[in-house]
Amino acid sequence: MVSMLSILEKISQDKITNQSDSSQVKLFLVRIIETPSIHALFLNTISLMEHIGSRKILLTQSNEHTTEFILRHASEEARHALFFKKKIEYILPNLNLGYSNHELLAGLSAKIYFQKLDATVRKSIRQMNLSHSNRTYLNYLYTTTAIEIRATYLYKIYNEVLIQRNFGFHLNGLLAEEEGHLAEMESEIQRLDSESKVRLDQLLQQEEKLFRKLWQKWKDACDLVSKP
């Protein structure tokens, strides 16, 4: 069997080959943090995405096969959601935001990104001969892996910006946890799917298209909020 390119290797390879993309991302993140009202909405949006991740794990993976990894993953994603929500206090105190669309940066698009990625994975594994529990498990593994590769890439750049600007918080611990999740999910994907390398490459290309749409919506939302 062709061994799957390590997910973590893939992240660093992409980072090197897409230097211009990374500088664009950095410029945009700098723009976000320079406007406190936008930064607060952005943090709340990432909090929502972590929360959706945690909720998805608990909704789909609570069964007789629930392992220590599943419980740890769900609880760490819930903690990440809380982490980002609490950091809003550093930017604009006493906002007490919920997750309504007007309290998020292009919130509807962020939710759609998640749903469409989930549907894309479901379609990709539809023809595989799997039990119901292995199907939902593999769906969770691929969807979460694609999102966490994206999150790790973005968080690394966001972290650099936060540290350079002395923001008073950083993502070092959170990044270490995300990388741990990726390594564990990678070995489970390889165990369950002999076509994992090809499938993951295809899914990551589809995720890229979905994320570019979300990215554009974030930019549009920033323009709207920045307007006097």
Site size for Fe ion (CB under 5 A): 6
Q: Does 50 bind Fe ion (CB under 5 A)?
A: yes
- Of 150 and 217, CB closest to Fe ion: 150
- Of 178 and 207, CB closest to Fe ion: 178
Residue whose entry in the numeric block shows the structure tokens 């390594």: 183
- Of 174 and 222, CB closest to Fe ion: 174
Least Å distance, CB 152 to Fe ion, is: 9
- Of 148 and 193, CB closest to Fe ion: 148
Positive/negative CA dihedral, 178, 15, 142, 144: positive
Which residue from 141, 181, 151 is spatially nearest to 60, judged by alpha carbons? 141
3-state per-residue secondary structure call for 65-117 = CCCHHHHHHHHHHHHHHHHHHHHHHHHCCCCCCCCCHHHCCCHHHHHHHHHHH
Written as one letter, the residue type at 75 is S
Task: Tell me the CA distances in angstroms from 203 to 15, 68, 118, 136, 228, one per residue in order.
Answer: 18, 27, 10, 16, 40
Per-residue binding letters, 78-117, with Fe ion (x by CB under 5 A): --x-------------------------------------
Least Å distance, CB 178 to Fe ion, is: 5
Residue whose entry in the numeric block shows the structure tokens 């929502």: 48
Contact window for Fe ion (CB under 5 A) among 10-18, 134-142, 180-188, 204-212: 180-188
Q: Does 217 bind Fe ion (CB under 5 A)?
A: no
Contact window for Fe ion (CB under 5 A) among 3-11, 36-44, 129-137, 141-149: 141-149
The Cα diameter of the chain in Å comes to 58
- Of 50 and 193, CB closest to Fe ion: 50
Choose which of 41, 137, 178, 211 interacts with Fe ion (CB under 5 A).
178
Residue whose entry in the numeric block shows the structure tokens 């999740």: 181
First to last CA, the chain: 58
Q: Does 39 bind Fe ion (CB under 5 A)?
A: no
Q: Does 181 bind Fe ion (CB under 5 A)?
A: yes
Least Å distance, CB 162 to Fe ion, is: 16
Residues that bind Fe ion (CB under 5 A): 50, 77, 80, 148, 178, 181
